Structure 1
Amino acid sequence: MTQRSRLILAMVLTYLAYGMLLNTVGTVILRSIASLGVTKAGAGWFDGCKDVSIAAVSFLTASYLTRIGIRRAMAGALALSVLACVMMPLAGAYWAICLHFALIGTAFAFIKVGIYTLIGQVTDSPRAHAALTSIIEGGFMVGVLSVTVLFSLFVGHGLIDTSRDWLDVYWILAALCALCLALLLAAGHAPEAAKGEPPSILAMLALARLPLVMVFILCAFSYVFVEQGIGTWLPTFNNEVLRLPQSMSVLAGSFFAGSIALGRLGGGVLIQRFGWYRVVNACLGAVALAIALIVPLSRHLGAAPVTDWFHAPLAAWLFLGVGLFMAPIYPTLVSVLLSSSPRARHAELMGLVVIFSALGGTTGSRLTAMLFAGLDGATAFGCMVVPIAVLAIGVSLLRRRQLATGVAD
């Protein structure tokens, strides 16, 4: 195996690992409430610990990553992730969970910028760049799908399970991060990046004042608010509102992630046929309709727990539609932003994408937690129609700004 092949393998497996690590929040919320006595309000901070650290560190990575060295920064991030995973089963406490997600978020900020930088260094054409990007993003979705299945193997099948066996999953995740670190070190030195002035924090902040970027920030914030608010609290909703056993509640999260993966693949084909604006508006309408149906269907289900998928309520299956139609929206909006902007600005724009997406995810998860604790799960998810409406307005404004730049659909 050549040095380039070893490096690509390390990149794919590393992104797969972080697909798993970043998408454990929903399961951790469910299990920490049941086995560690964490309150819903307290669990609402888990996403914040992850996303705020991603946003804060992203300010620094764009300016200082090339000075530190891409390979050195990624190796340090993976070593930090190993420690964060080992800490979970050893401590098994609320503070350890918060610290774990803060460390994982910090590591991912370096990993994401590092991997996207390396993609350009190990490919020699736009077609090769796009192909490798698709493979790496596909690895991330494999991680998202597999982590919920992995957790379901360590969760009991009853409606209530107070065991702490789920913490043992983190030994497996620690071993995976250690394997990624070994592969990265075995790959040798990464290719040298082209010399140039690195993106600066001031450059990113200056771009945030542009009308097109401001509208995109509104759209990205609203979208991630909905996606993280639903995705993070879906296992708890399935267990407490829909009366699914905890193992089924966790496994349903993998179905939700699978519907997102399928939606992104199919969305690309539809956008080529009908244009992004029509497809995104149709998806927004479908998501709003699905949520409007889920709320009444999730009430008055009775006290008897569900024992198998054949008896799962219709509301549980409608979440597949939510994921399917939400999926194409976010990558499409990012593509519209980048294609309407000069290529020289793409690095700073991606910094803003990471930062405001993280802030939207934190806000969505936190407010959903407050609504869950103060009202009920059905009402909490029903309130998602508000950011969806804001997103629809933002998409219309984004379309106008795109047309103003003279970029074709």
Structure 2
Amino acid sequence: MIIAAIAASYYVFAILLNSVGTVILQSITSFEVSKPQASILEGFKDLSIAIVSFLVASFIPRVGYKLALLCGLGLVAVLCAITPGIAEFWSVKLLFAGVGTAFALVKVSVYAIIGQLSPDTRSHSSLMNVIEGIFMLGVLSGYWVFAAFIDEANPASLSWLNVYYLLAAVVAVTFILVLIAPVEKPRAEPAKAMLEFVTMLKMVYQPLVLIFILSVFLYVLIEQGIGSWLPTFNREVLGLPVNVSVQITSIFAVSLAIGRLAAGAVLARMNWYPFLMLCLIAMGATMLLSLPLAQHVGDTPIASWLDAPLAAFLVPLIGLTMAPIYPVINSVMLSSLPKSQHAPMTGLIVVFSALGGTTGSIVTGLIFDAMGGQQAFYLLLVPIALIMVTLFFFRRSSLQVKAKGELA
């Protein structure tokens, strides 16, 4: 029952969190907002996650993981239920702020509950993979769920907002699952929590940590820049129908999933640094190969996937080589530190991932609006090149810290 409750929680938040690209496209069409205005939806989501994780996560054990889950789910259920009735852009911003706030509570709680259910490392890893796999299933299904509510005959229609009634019902069922699940309340350790908070602040000043968080920032900037704007790219640059534009974006999510699974096998035989350098080179090559094809899209009407131009399938395939970078650099960073420093470092990862995601979405949106979608995606080659530089220094610094055993 507990596993079902946390799996359902992760599933529904996967749909909501990764719907931002679809909602950006629909907001531009339905609410007639500009691309820069629509891009701030990523900020409402990610900055809420960052702020709540930074300020509240250490105190969740004091109130209990079950109560934190119920508060998060309850907040999202209410927001999903009222958003279609209001049908204004500000209500969508409020929804994403609520989703980000709730997910910060849910993620901390779910990770802690997994620890309660796992007596050893092997069982912990197994359950974690199951939960993260269900999260990816939610990401994939989310594109199709939203596409089903889009009125292709009238793309500006607000009928797509009715998807939130369905999601409100799913969240309500999840709320009941959590309510009846026998989740244990942990013993609070406020002194330890505050110590971790202070440690997290001190770690920011270390050279290795600065290089690492810059790498994380740049990676998430690229991923969210592509993920948030790919549906709009498909619609405005490639000329796909709205529902096909959303559906075909699922290739990006599938590519990320396959890339991370395949990376596990490759890294068992290859050092992480040359592997990630090859991944970054392949990312750049994919962009340089696929984006020129978007210039030669014909005037043939597109009604389905079968009519879509080659660029619609090639651009999202960048996820294959992008996927390993984030988990690998996180793993290298954490494995360079003693376990006592893992918790504060995880907090920094959450915060700077959120900042990178927000920056990526807003900058890409601004360039998309001013110069067009192709130029916006071409300019993502700049952070790809910068990551190659930061990884060089990150590798050198991580080896020095690992030899010493801890940060200075």
TM-score by length of 1: 0.95
CA displacement at 1:194 relative to structure 2? 7.4
C-alpha distance in 1 between matches for 2:42 and 2:188: 36
CA displacement at 1:404 relative to structure 2? 1.2
SS for the counterpart of 1:229 is helix
Query: CA distance change for structure 1 residues 386 and 62 in 2, over 3 Å: closer, same or farther?
Result: same
CA displacement at 1:9 relative to structure 2? 1.1
1:35-63 deviation digits (Å, cap 9, x = unpaired): 22222121011001111111111112232
Q: Which residue of 2 aligns with 1:370?
A: 366
**Aligned 1:102-113 pairs, distance under 5 A:** 102-113=97-108
Aligned residues of 1:44 and 1:366 also touching (Cα < 8 A): yes
| From 378, 384, 390, the counterpart of 1:388 | 384
Structure 1 stretches of at least 4 aligned residues deviating more than 4 Å after TM superposition = 193-196
**Aligned 1:308-327 pairs, distance under 5 A:** 308-327=304-323
Q: Which residue of 2 aligns with 1:131?
A: 126
C-alpha distance in 1 between matches for 2:145 and 2:39: 23
Percent identity over paired residues: 44
Q: CA RMSD in A?
A: 1.6
Give ranges in structure 1 of 5+ residues lacking alignment.
1-5
C-alpha distance in 2 between matches for 1:305 and 1:215: 48
Query: CA distance change for structure 1 residues 123 and 368 in 2, over 3 Å: closer, same or farther?
Result: same
The reply to whether residue 71 of structure 1 matches residue 79 of structure 2 is: no
CA displacement at 1:359 relative to structure 2? 0.3
Q: Which residue of 2 aligns with 1:232?
A: 228
CA displacement at 1:192 relative to structure 2? 2.8
Aligned residues of 1:157 and 1:248 also touching (Cα < 8 A): no
Aligned residues of 1:244 and 1:306 also touching (Cα < 8 A): yes
**Aligned 1:140-159 pairs, distance under 5 A:** 140-157=135-152
C-alpha distance in 1 between matches for 2:262 and 2:108: 27
CA displacement at 1:302 relative to structure 2? 3.6
Residue 229 of structure 1 aligns to which amino acid in structure 2?
A: G
TM-score by length of 2: 0.95
Q: Which moved more, 1:355-364 or 1:387-396?
A: 387-396
Aligned residues of 2:13 and 2:103 also touching (Cα < 8 A): yes
Q: Which residue of 2 aligns with 1:259?
A: 255
Query: CA distance change for structure 1 residues 199 and 288 in 2, over 3 Å: closer, same or farther?
Result: farther
Aligned residues of 1:199 and 1:348 also touching (Cα < 8 A): no
Aligned residues of 1:58 and 1:109 also touching (Cα < 8 A): yes
Aligned length: 402
1:245-264 deviation digits (Å, cap 9, x = unpaired): 11110001212111111111
C-alpha distance in 1 between matches for 2:330 and 2:170: 30
| From 314, 326, 331, the counterpart of 2:327 | 331
Q: Which residue of 2 aligns with 1:404?
A: 400
Aligned residues of 2:72 and 2:103 also touching (Cα < 8 A): yes
The reply to whether residue 187 of structure 1 matches residue 218 of structure 2 is: no
SS for the counterpart of 1:395 is helix
SS for the counterpart of 2:268 is helix
SS for the counterpart of 1:199 is helix
Query: CA distance change for structure 1 residues 106 and 196 in 2, over 3 Å: closer, same or farther?
Result: closer
1:271-300 deviation digits (Å, cap 9, x = unpaired): 111121122111111111111122221124
